[in-house]
Amino acid sequence: MSEGAPKSAYELAMERLRKKDEEAGVSRREISDADKTAIAEIRSFYQARIAEIELRHQGTAVIPMDPGDRATLDAEYRRDRERLNDERERKIEKVRSGS
């Protein structure tokens, strides 16, 4: 962006957020290529795991069963999916923070 050109609302908001982070003592760490690769691998792994449980769940959806059993299977599917999403986000945050 040229020096004298007006800034967009997005750029102004980002400047305010950076300033607020600096005042709060939050440091910003650049993500290395190795970190980006690790994050991509984590996402790929968990995408495959989620697809696996989704296929398993869809396979059981065609089987006639008691509505109570169906609700139990649906709740288990949602729980597994949420657990995998949480694990993925924790691992990605660990890579981003450099731990």
Share of the chain above pLDDT 70, in %: 94
Residue 58 belongs to some domain of the structure: yes
- SS3 letters across the chain: CCCCCCCCHHHHHHHHHHHHHHHHCCCCCCCCHHHHHHHHHHHHHHHHHHHHHHHHHHHHHCCCCCHHHHHHHHHHHHHHHHHHHHHHHHHHHHHHHCC
21 near 74, Cβ under 8 Å?
no
Range of the domain at 41: 31-97
pLDDT at 1 exceeding the cut of 60: no
> So what's the pLDDT on residue 65?
83
How does pLDDT run across 19-28, given as a tens digit for each residue?
A: 888 888 777 7
Residue 93 belongs to some domain of the structure: yes
> So what's the pLDDT on residue 44?
98
How does pLDDT run across 62-83, given as a tens digit for each residue?
A: 888 888 888 999 999 999 999 9
Total number of domains constituting the chain: 1
> So what's the pLDDT on residue 99?
67
